[in-house]
């Protein structure tokens, strides 16, 4: 199935069904297909050739959704930009991907205009909400030029341990398999109303959007996650299916807007990025009495989820209990192996690197053949995560080999933050680690050693970081000191010791 074939199928099987229902904006599937094909024709008239990359920088909206579909329809490849990144991070991605067009909404118009001045490959910058875009929608329709299953569908950038993001090359086969997997697991159909509540630049939402389209369901949108906007869409659009990270669930349950009657209408909740605690699960089961709950574990290189903890395992007692700390079992079509020794299978509970195989695995990293060769070995994706399988085939994540923090559902690579801190002229050395946080799951903590005789304030460090990296990557707490960092015998910073020092100090303050 080509990615755009899901659009044509939806228009065929539910010609009167709503593709879009988001507040006052409503559109049937045939109407959406007409707009997508017209926009695709305008993209081709703007010089878009088959395989060309189109960068997008926008908040969730119906226009953003139809633009992504139109890029595929025109034969192009999407480069969805993380709206939380700093300008220099965005510039690197647009330049590295050789994007020829850049779209943004009014929230990022200034960034887009600046980008057009400094990135040589860009032919045009277009706002999603201006007269130029309105004219493009009126362009004559064009035939679907999506390409074959093995052609490039998109380059999705993920943080890197060296500080520079990597471009993950994903094909239409990758996206199609990911969509069919979610369609099967979550039961999307013509009665589904899915709320795009997590950012559409994330693969989790991209794959869900395609899966909902495959089922002929309806798309609803909030531009950014706020509990009041969440409840408004539940009320106005009849939302049945949502994707949330644990932090978002807590915000929905704790907000003054909480409406239990609306929550009882939700039929499906999926979450990822971090396991749910038993305390939070108890609250979810009470607040969403009619919802099936799925956890997904995945990565950009696998085009989203590769294993799932199903609804019957989200229980606190009975024969199905006891698996909440796991990431679930491999989804159909995926294989999981622990460790690289092919001569013997790993034993239950034996930890090692998680290796993945399946039709949704990336074809490689953009312009990085050496990194691709290191990551794709004998048909297996080396995930960089450490874990083990239990006797029932449930996967448990025990460590992140890539030195990554997950805070509020966002992946933060310690090296990126450390590079930003180290560029300050008064910083001698630094280390970044994740510390437990009730709201965010983990928070970014920096231990900074100032140069001898220097005076260095937290405010100065904070401002320095915000000028270079996205706000969500900036440390939420600092330890600025003159004592050197603890090093191992081979000169590696012992972050476990730093974490234990902080936990001991926190316990002392609390006691």
Select from 3, 200, 219 the least CA-distant residue to 103: 200
* Sole residue written with tokens 């309105």: 134
In sign, the C-alpha dihedral spanning 301, 52, 93, 125 is negative
Stretch 28-42: mean pLDDT: 98
244-253, 291-300, 359-368: range with highest mean pLDDT: 359-368
Per-residue pLDDT tens for 319-329?
A: 999 998 899 99
Residue 162 has pLDDT above 90, yes or no: no
Supply the angle between the helices 278-287 and 246-254 in degrees, to the nearest 10: 50
Above 60 in pLDDT, residue 160? no
Q: Quote the pLDDT of residue 489.
A: 45
pLDDT at 62: 97
Asked whether the domain spanning 404-510 has the same topology as the one spanning 5-313, the reply is: no
CATH 3.30.300.30 is the classification of domain 404-510? yes
* Spatial distance between the Cα atoms of 499 and 108, rounded to a whole number of angstroms: 38
Distance separating alpha carbons of residues 395 and 356, to the nearest angstrom: 12
The residues near 21 (Cβ < 8 Å, ≥ 6 apart) are 193, 218, 219, 220, 237, 238
For 180-187, what is the mean pLDDT?
A: 95
Which of 346, 59, 100, 36 lies closest to 199, judged by CA? 59
Pairing of strands 193-196, 241-243: parallel
Lowest mean pLDDT among 194-203, 378-387, 395-404, 450-459: 395-404
| Region 284-309 average pLDDT | 93
Q: Which of 60, 113, 71 lies closest to 91 in space, CA to CA?
A: 113
Instruction: Render 119-136 in DSSP notation, one character per residue.
Output: -TT--EEEETTSHHHHHH
| Angstrom distance (rounded) from CA 511 to CA 507 | 6
Question: Under a CB-based contact definition with an 8 Å cutoff, are residues 116 and 122 in contact?
Answer: yes
* DSSP3 helix / strand / coil % (the chain, rounded to 5): 35, 25, 40
pLDDT at 490 (0 to 100): 44
Nearest residue to 185 via CA among 352, 379, 20, 330: 330
State if pTM tops 0.85.
Answer: no
Torsion of CA 423, 402, 297, 272, to 10 degrees: -30
Angle in degrees, CA 443, 444, 447, rounded to 5: 130
Q: What average pLDDT score do residues 148-170 get?
A: 85
Torsion sign (Cα): 205, 208, 214, 218: negative
**Three-state secondary structure of 180-234:** HHHHHHHCCCCCCEEEECCCCCCHHHHHHHHHHHHCCCEEEECCCCCHHHHHHHH
282 three-state secondary structure: helix
**Where does the pLDDT of residue 332 fall: very low under 50, low under 70, confident under 90, or very high at 90 and above?**
very high
**CB of 328 within 8 A of CB of 308?**
yes
Q: What is the pLDDT of residues 225-235, one digit of tens each?
A: 999 999 999 99
pLDDT of res. 190: 97
pLDDT at 3 over 80: yes
Q: Which of 11-15, 55-59, 396-400 has the lowest mean pLDDT?
A: 396-400
Architecture label for domain 5-313: 3-Layer(aba) Sandwich (3.40)
Instruction: Give pLDDT, residue 397.
Output: 82
Domain map (residue ranges) of the chain: 5-313, 330-400, 404-510
39: pLDDT strictly greater than 60:
yes
Q: Report whether 129 contacts 106 (CB < 8 A).
A: yes
Q: Mean pLDDT throughout 17-22? A: 96
Matching residue, tokens 């953003």: 64
User: 330-400, which class in CATH?
Assistant: mainly beta
d(Cα 27, Cα 490) in Å, to the nearest integer? 62
Is the predicted pLDDT of residue 177 greater than 80, yes or no? yes
DSSP per-residue letters across 157-178: EE--TTSS-EEEEEEHHHHHHH
* pLDDT average, residue stretch 212-228: 96
Return d(Cα 54, Cα 463) in angstroms, integer.
32
Average pLDDT over residues 57-63: 97
Instruction: Residue count of the chain, please give it.
Output: 511
Q: List pLDDT tens digits, range 408-422.
A: 777 787 877 887 898
pLDDT in tens, 238-294: 999 999 887 788 889 988 999 999 999 999 999 876 667 677 788 898 999 999 999
Rounded average pLDDT over 20-38: 96
In percent, the amount of the chain with pLDDT more than 90 equals: 66
Task: Output phi, psi for 404, to 5 deg.
Answer: -120, 145
Q: Could you tell me the pLDDT band of residue 495, with boundaries at 50, 70 and 90?
A: confident
**Which ranges of 312-396 does DSSP label H, i.e. alpha helix?**
369-375
| Confidence (pLDDT) at 401 | 60
């Amino acid at each position: 199935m080509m990615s755009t074939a899901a659009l044509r199928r939806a228009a065929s099987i539910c010609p009167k069904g709503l593709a879009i229902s988001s507040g006052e904006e409503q559109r049937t599937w045939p109407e959406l297909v007409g707009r997508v094909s017209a926009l695709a024709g305008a993209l081709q008239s703007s010089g878009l050739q088959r395989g060309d990359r189109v960068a997008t920088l926008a908040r969730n909206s119906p226009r953003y959704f139809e633009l992504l579909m139109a890029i595929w329809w025109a034969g192009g490849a999407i480069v969805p930009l993380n709206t939380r990144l700093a300008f220099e991070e965005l510039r690197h991605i647009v330049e590295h991907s050789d994007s020829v067009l850049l779209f943004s909404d009014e929230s990022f118009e200034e960034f887009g205009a600046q980008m057009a001045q400094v990135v040589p490959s860009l032919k045009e910058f277009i706002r999603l909400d201006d007269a130029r875009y309105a004219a493009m929608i009126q362009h004559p329709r064009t035939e679907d030029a999506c390409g074959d299953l093995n052609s490039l569908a998109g380059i999705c950038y993920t943080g890197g341990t060296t500080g520079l993001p990597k471009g993950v090359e994903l094909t239409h086969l990758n996206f199609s398999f990911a969509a069919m997997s979610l369609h099967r697991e979550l039961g999307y159909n013509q009665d589904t109303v899915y709320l795009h509540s997590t950012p559409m630049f994330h693969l989790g939402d991209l794959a869900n959007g395609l899966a909902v389209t495959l089922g002929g369901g309806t798309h609803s949108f909030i531009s950014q996650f706020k509990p009041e906007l969440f409840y408004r869409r539940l009320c106005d659009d009849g939302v049945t299916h949502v994707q949330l990270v644990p932090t978002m669930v807590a915000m929905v349950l704790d907000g003054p807007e909480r409406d239990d009657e609306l929550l009882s209408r939700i039929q499906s909740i999926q979450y990822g990025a971090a396991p749910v605690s038993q305390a939070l699960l108890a609250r979810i089961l009470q607040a969403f009495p009619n919802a099936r709950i799925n956890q997904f574990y995945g990565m950009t290189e696998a085009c989203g989820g590769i294993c799932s903890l199903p609804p019957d395992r989200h229980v606190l007692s009975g024969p199905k209990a006891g698996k909440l700390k796991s990431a679930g079992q491999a989804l159909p079509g995926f294989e999981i192996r622990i460790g690289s020794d092919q001569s013997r299978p790993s034993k239950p509970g034996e930890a090692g690197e998680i290796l993945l195989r399946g039709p949704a695995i990336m074809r490689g990293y953009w312009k990085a053949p050496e990194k691709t060769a290191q990551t794709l070995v004998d048909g297996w994706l080396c995930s960089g995560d450490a874990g083990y399988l239990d006797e029932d085939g449930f996967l448990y994540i025990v460590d992140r080999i890539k030195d990554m923090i997950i805070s509020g559902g966002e992946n933060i690579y310690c090296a990126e933050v450390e590079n930003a801190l180290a560029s300050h002229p008064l910083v001698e050395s630094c280390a970044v680690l994740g510390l437990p946080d009730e709201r965010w799951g983990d928070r970014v903590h920096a231990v900074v050693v100032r140069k001898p005789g220097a005076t260095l304030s937290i405010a100065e460090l904070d401002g320095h970081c915000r000028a270079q990296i996205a706000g969500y990557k900036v440390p939420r707490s600092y330890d600025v000191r003159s004592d050197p960092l603890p090093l191992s015998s081979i000169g590696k910073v012992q972050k476990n010791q730093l974490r234990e020092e902080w936990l001991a100090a926190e316990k002392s303050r609390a006691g």
